[in-house]
A and B are shown apart, each in its own frame.
Chain A
Amino acid sequence: MNIAGIGIVSTRGRGIESLDIALREGWTSPKLIKSDNDQNIFYPIYSVEKETINDINLLKKIRRADRFSKMAVMAARDAVVDSGIQINDKKTDIGIILSTAFGPHVTTFRFLDDIIDYGDGSVSPTTFSHSVHNAAASYISSLLNIRGPTVTITQFASPFHQSLILAKAWLTEKRCKYVLLGCVDVCGNVMEYICNQKLRIANDGKIRPFNFSALPSSVPGEGSVFLMTSLENCQNKYCEIIPASMTNCDTIKKSDIYIIEADGMAGNETSYQDTLPVDVSIGGYAPIFGSMKIISAFHCAAGALMIKKQIKYACPVQENPYDLNVITKTESSKIERICCIRKNCADKTDIIRLIR
C-alpha cells in the first residue's frame, strides 16, 4: 500500500509544508490554558490555532461543522490535492476510513449543556447531529463527492494502526482503488481536565520520548492527519506503508530509522528499551505535536516525508538517558526504511513500516 498524498492539521499549522517546517524548527512550548476550576492553574496544550482551519473557501461549504469536522475535512482535502491523483467526478472508487479515540466530545458536551440548561425537549438538532462520530466523514464525503464505502472507527489502543489494516484489506480485495484514511482528535476543556486527572502532565511542556519512564509525562495535543493510499505507484508517492505486529525483530533491524512513538499517553513506557536495536538511528517527534492516541498518524506523516525528501530530522527533545543513537541533527540521509513503533495502552506493540 502506497502513500500518495498527505494532509495534516496540527498545532504547527496546516499542510505538508507546515510539517516540514515544524520538523526543521524543532520543539516549541505549548499554549497554556486556564483551568475551569481554578483561574490560577494553567494547563499546557498543543492546540490547533483558529487561523489554521480558517479556510473561507472550504468553510462556506461546511459552515455548521465543528472543529473536529473542520480539522478532518481540511486534512482529508489536502491529502487528495497533494496526491495529484486525477479522480473522476463521481468518486465511487475511493473509500474513507476515519479513526478517532474520543470523537467530537466537545460537541457532545455542548449538547449536554442544552439538555441541562433547556431540558430534554428543547435541545438543538444541529448540535446533536454534529456530536455523532461519523459527522466528520460525512462532511468529507459531501465536500469531496466521495461515494465509496465510508467507515468511522473508534479505538483507544491503536486507532491509526487499525485503520491501516482495514485500508490494506479494502485495497487488496479491490473494494476501492484508493482509500483516504486518517485520524482526528480534539482536546477541549473537559478532556484537558481529564488528562490532568489521569496522566502526568509535563509542567515544562516537554514530552520526553526517550526517557522510557514508568510514569511518563505528556502534553495533550490535537489535530488531524489524512493519507491518500493506493496499491498503484502514484506520481507523488511518498513511500510504501505496511502495518505489522511486533513478532519479527529481524524486520526492525533492517530499518534505517526507528521512530519511537512514546508520548506519555499510553502509560508505562519502560518496555521500549526491550525493543530497540542498538545500531539504528532513533527518532521521536511527539514533542512537536503533543500527546494523542492518534500520534501514530503524525509519526507516519513525518516518516513518509523523511523518506520522500531523504532527510532525517533532528529530534525536538533530545534527552537521552539510555545513550541511544538519537538523531540530533537535521541533514540529508539515504533512507530506505523507517519503522514506527508504539507500545499501546493494551500492552501490545504496533509497528508501521515505511519503505521507499
Chain B
Amino acid sequence: MKIFITGIGGISAAGKNITEHLKSFRLMKRNAGTVSLFDTSLPYPVFEVKSPLVNKQVNKQVNKQKNEMRTLSLAMSALKEALHDAGLQKDFSAIKTGVCLGTSVASQLNDIDFYRTYRNTGAAGMAPVDRFLKGNLAEAIAKSIKANGPSVTVVNACSSGADAIGVALSWLRNGVCDIAIAGGADELNRVPLCGFGALGILSKSLCSPFDKDRSGLNLGEGAGVLILETEKSASLRGKKSALRLAGYGAAADAYHLTAPRPDGSGLESALRKSLADANITPQDVCFVNAHGTATHDNDKVEGIVIEKIFGPKIKFLSTKGYTGHTLGAAGGLEAAFTASALRECWIPASAGFVRQDENIPVKPITEQTQINGSFAVSTSLAFGGNNASIVIARNQ
C-alpha cells in the first residue's frame, strides 16, 4: 500500500515555515543565541523560535492568552502549514484521521514554579496541572481538529518524531485510519537544558556535527509535521503528491540508558529494516539526513554505520547546525526537511562541519548539492537506545 505525504509543515529557529527554512539553508544562516525564554545560569547557546506565530509573549514559556503550552503552539504552527499544503480544512470529523506526534518536554509535569510552591507550602494552584492535562500533544491536536481516529503521543526521547511517523505508517497500512498527522514538537525548556548540561554534552559554541573538533550539541525547539494519507484517500479528494513515506525501521540497542551501542548494531538494524520495508537497496538512496547531534559518541557511531551500509560516497548531512537539537521534534522536522529536499532536488551544506574526524570514515557535504535520486533516509537516535530510520520516496 502506498502512503503519500500530502502536506509538510515545519517551524524552528531556522524559519517559521518550510520556505523560510530552505532560505536559511541556502544562506547557511544559524540563528542561535543566548536563552531568552527563561532564566538560567548556563552559558550554552540555543536555537529559539522567535516567530510571533508561536507566542506573542516571547519571553514566556506559556501562551497565557490560550493557557497553552509552548510546545502545543509550535505544533499548531507546523500543523497549520502542513494542512494548507495538503489542501485540508481544520475539521476532520468526517475523515478517519489519526494523530501521532512525538515530544519530550510536553509529556512531563515539570513546571518549576508549581513544584517549588508545592514544596514550600504543601499546596499549589492547579493552573499548571490543568495546562499539562490539556496539553498531551496528540490528544490536544486531535481535539483541535476533531480527529476521530487513534491519537498517540510518542515519548521516545530524541527519536520521538521519527517513531511517531513510523507508528502513523503502521496505522495507515493496517486501515486504522485514512489520514495521519505525524511528526514531533518540543519547546526549549529549562529542565532538559539543565539535564543535558549535567550529562556534559552541550557545546559552548555553535554545534559542528561530524566535525573532528565537535564539542556537543545545542538545544533547539520547533515542530515538524507531515500529513500522511493512503493512496485511496488522496485519490478520492483529487490530491496528487510528489512524495510518499516508503518505509520505517526501528531497533533497540539493549545496551545503555544514555550511550549508543558502540558497534552501532542497533542503528544498523533500524536502517536495514527501513530499507527492507521500502523494498529498496542502499544503492537506491540518494542522501541521508543524519541525526548528527555533534556529540562525540553519536556522530562516531552514526558515521561508521552510514559508511558501512551506504558506502563511502553517500551524500549525507545533519540539519542540526541550523535548528539545534529539537529533541522530540527532531525526527518530525528532519523528515519534513528530507521530504522537502527530495521535492526541491537539493540538499544544504551540513552546517558546522570543517575537518574530518579520522574515526569517522565518511564526511558530510559541505556545500549545497543537487540530488537526482528517488529515495532518501532520515535517521534518529535516542536516549534509551532507540534507533529509528524512515525512508521517503519521490513518486515516479
Contacts and interface: CB of A to CB of B under 8 A. Distances in A.
A216 B253 CA distance: 44
Interface stretch (A162-170, A200-208, A295-303, A326-334): A162-170
Interface string A128-170: 1111111101110110111111111111110000100110111
Interface stretch (B53-61, B82-90, B213-221, B380-388): B380-388
A42 interface: no
Contacts of B193: 120
A37 B136 contact: no
Interface stretch (B154-162, B280-288, B298-306): B154-162
Given A105-B108, A129-B383, A154-B136, A193 B123 contact: yes
B152 A111 contact: no
Interface string B116-141: 10110111101001000100101100
B385 A108 contact: no
B174 A147 contact: no
B386 A125 contact: no
A132 B110 contact: no
Contact of B199 (A125, A137, A156): A125
Contacts of B384: 132, 134-135, 137-138, 141, 150, 152
B76 interface: no
A139 B177 CA distance: 32
Interface residues of A, number: 65
Contact of A193 (B118, B154, B251, B383): B118
A149 B190 contact: no
Contact of A120 (B116, B197, B256): B197
Interface string A102-131: 110100110111111001110111001111
A139 B256 CA distance: 8
A20 interface: no
Interface string A339-355: 00000001000000000
Contacts of B122: 35-38, 193
A149 B382 CA distance: 13
Interface stretch (B163-171, B315-323, B346-354): B163-171
Contacts of B151: 155, 157, 162
B42 interface: yes
Nearest to B193: A120
B200 A132 contact: no
A169 B174 contact: yes
Interface in B3-51: 40-42
B145 interface: no
A150 B382 CA distance: 11
B197 A112 contact: no
Contacts of B107: 103, 133, 154
A198 interface: yes
Contacts of B385: 138, 141-142, 150
- Kindly name the residue among B143, B156, B249 whose own CB sees the greatest number of chain A CB atoms within 10 A: B156
A219 interface: no
A194 interface: yes
A173 interface: yes
B170 A175 contact: yes
Contact of B115 (A102, A112, A170, A198): A112
Interface string A234-261: 0000000000000000000000000000
A152 B252 contact: no
A243 B257 CA distance: 32
B150 A115 contact: no
A96 interface: yes
Interface of B: 40-42, 104, 107-110, 112, 115-116, 118-119, 121-124, 126, 129, 133, 136, 138-139, 143, 150-157, 163, 166-167, 170-171, 173-174, 176, 190-200, 249-258, 266, 269, 382-386
**9 A-B pairs closest in CB distance:** A37-B122, A138-B384, A128-B195, A149-B250, A133-B155, A141-B252, A125-B198, A169-B170, A169-B174
18 contacts: A37-B123, A92-B251, A112-B110, A115-B194, A116-B115, A121-B198, A123-B194, A129-B383, A133-B107, A135-B383, A142-B253, A142-B256, A147-B253, A149-B251, A193-B118, A193-B123, A194-B129, A198-B126
